[in-house]
Amino acid sequence: MEVNTAIAAAQRRCLRAARIRTGALSPTVAVLALITTGCAASQPAPASSHASQALAPSRSAKSVVAASSATGSSVAAATRAATCTAGQLEGSVGENGPANGTENIVILLRNISAAGCWLGGVLPLSASQANDVVRQLLFHGSTDPAVARQPATTGPGLLKPGHYGAFIVTVCLAARTKCEASHLQLVTLRIQLPGNQIISMPYPAAFKLGMPGTESAAEPVPSPTGILGR
């Protein structure tokens, strides 16, 4: 209120001064006279909208970048394939061979469905006997290339339709060590997927050579052969 009163008083003084200086001058000339006397400066300058507009693009750009990052993350999460189910995979025995007193055995998992799925992780193994009694196979996870060489892949990932995944198990060879050969009459190998889903396949003969050793993670592989480097 006090500021407005002061401004009004200044304007009245300027107008009186203008009338004294300009007399009967035309309105246009009178206005010019007001400007030359400095009275125009007594009025408050309007707020600059240019500066506000100059800052707006920067804030907008940051908002766009943040929104794009959030959208990218959500799209990546949404487009990742679902975990493979037992109905999508078919198990079979791949290559096997001796190495340092153990037998390396490749178990292949082929995607027989029409959709890709996500494969990864160490899968619990069990076996059933002819009388349907199920026994856990105590393989322990290993990434040590000396005992269980990883398949030629970069890690867990998308298993495309018709393509193979694989994991390697080792058993202790009774013929070359003090390992005890398995005398159980096991007929079915059971591979457990997340959600307690089971893939069943004939029990591999090479598993009967000795006691369970190590197991590598199941991962997509470029080919069902050459996994053991042979």
Is residue 148's pLDDT more than 50?
Answer: no
- Least confident window among 42-51, 86-95, 131-140, 147-156: 42-51
Is residue 133's pLDDT more than 90?
Answer: yes
**Structural domain contains residue 57:** yes
Extended strands (E) in the chain? 89-99, 102-111, 117-119, 125-129, 134-137, 140-141, 157-159, 164-172, 186-193, 197-202, 212-215, 219-221
Same domain (yes/no): 54, 131: no
Would you state the pLDDT for residue 210? Answer: 85
**Structural domain contains residue 229:** no
| pTM for the structure as a whole | 0.63
CB contact at 8 A, 155 and 229 = no
**Structural domain contains residue 228:** no
Same domain (yes/no): 36, 126: no
**Structural domain contains residue 5:** yes
Assign 13 a pLDDT band (cuts: 50, 70, 90).
low
Q: Residue 129's beta-bridge partner residues?
A: 186
DSSP state of 124: P
Would you state the pLDDT for residue 106? Answer: 95
The number of angstroms, rounded, from the C-alpha of 46 to the middle of its chain's C-alpha atoms is: 52
Same domain (yes/no): 16, 103: no
Residue with tokens 């009774």: 174
The pLDDT tens digits for 169-227 are 999 886 555 565 566 789 999 999 999 999 999 999 999 888 888 999 999 999 999 88
Residue 60 φ/ψ, nearest 5 degrees: -65, -40
Would you state the pLDDT for residue 62? Answer: 52
The pLDDT tens digits for 25-71 are 455 444 444 444 455 444 444 454 444 454 444 555 455 445 445 54
DSSP state of 196: T
The pLDDT tens digits for 89-128 are 999 999 999 888 889 999 999 999 999 999 999 999 999 9
Would you state the pLDDT for residue 141? Answer: 78
Q: How far apart are CA 13 and CA 4, in angstroms?
A: 14
Total domains present in the chain: 3
Give the helix/strand (H/E) hosting 49.
helix 49-79
Q: How far apart are CA 97 and CA 228, in angstroms?
A: 8
Same domain (yes/no): 128, 169: yes
- Least confident window among 100-114, 129-143, 147-161, 197-211: 147-161
Query: For residue 158, what are the contacts with CB-CB under 8 A and spacing of at least 6?
Result: 81, 116, 117, 118, 119, 220
Same domain (yes/no): 128, 149: yes
Same domain (yes/no): 159, 193: yes
Identify the CATH number of the domain in which residue 177 sits.
Answer: 2.60.40
With H, G, I as helix, E, B as strand and everything else as coil, classify residue 81. Answer: coil
Is residue 11's pLDDT more than 60?
Answer: no
Q: How far apart are CA 178 and CA 176, in angstroms?
A: 7
Would you state the pLDDT for residue 2? Answer: 53
Among residues 13, 216, 30, 7, which one has the least CA distance to residue 109? Answer: 216
Same domain (yes/no): 128, 151: yes
Is residue 16's pLDDT more than 80?
Answer: no
**Residue numbers of the domain that contains 55:** 47-79
**Structural domain contains residue 159:** yes
